[in-house]
Amino acid sequence: MASGSGSNFEAVAIACREGQLAAEVALLVVNNVGCGASQRAGRLGIPCQLHDHRGFSSREALDQALIASFRTAEVDLVVMAGWMRIVTPALIGAFPGRLVNIHPSLLPSFRGMDAVGQALAAGVTLTGCTAHLVSEEVDAGQILVQAAVPVLEGDDHASLSARIHSQEHRILPLAVDLAARRLGLLQG
């Protein structure tokens, strides 16, 4: 699942293709027409579906459509690779322990929107990113993998975001692998 440029989605897809992750990306779902993630899916030959959240009556209705798409695609594990929507208990319950999210902070610090801006405003010297299982409380699920990123003198939102994003690309495939192994989806 992706809402934006899709670089985290592509990092997972490439990890699968290069054998670093013994999995297959069966489907990408996006919620924004023409977003970069859908363009990356086309280039990578990965099926992509649009579920524009603006066309649904509620978050629950969107999540029911997502569940139907994932079940049709026989998805075992769902990865929120920059999905900028809060999911409901319906989706979480349909994939218990099988919904992985990436977040641009060292959780439990700076949960929710604009974690990079929150870190800069707080004046911290260290932040990072976290891949975690999704729970009903936003950004509060079991942590799978984290990576620390120093906040450098003179950092702004763009420069710090870029360094965090680089680490997200590294840890998200690791978290997917760990979650899949814990569920018995991967062996060895």
DSSP 91-155: HHHHSTT-EEEEESS-TTSS-SS-HHHHHHHHT-SEEEEEEEE--SSTT-SPEEEEEEEE--TT-
**Which sequence positions are flagged as catalytic?**
103
The answer to whether residues 3 and 30 touch, using CB atoms and an 8 Å cutoff, is yes
pLDDT band at 186 (very low <50, low <70, confident <90, very high): confident
Average pLDDT over residues 8-19: 97
Question: Are the CB atoms for 131 and 174 separated by under 8 Å?
Answer: yes
Query: Please, are residues 107 and 132 in contact by the beta-carbon 8 Å criterion?
Result: yes
Cα separation, 155 vs 29, whole angstroms: 33
Region 67-78: mean pLDDT is 97
Q: Rounded to two decimals, what is the model's pTM?
A: 0.94
User: How many percent of the chain have pLDDT more than 70?
Assistant: 99
Return the ∠ at Cα 24 (arms to 168 and 49), rounded to 5°. 85
Burial class (CB in 10 A: 0-12, 13-18, 19+), 154: exposed
- Is the CATH number 3.40.50.170 carried by domain 7-182? yes
C-alpha Rg value of the chain to the nearest Å: 16
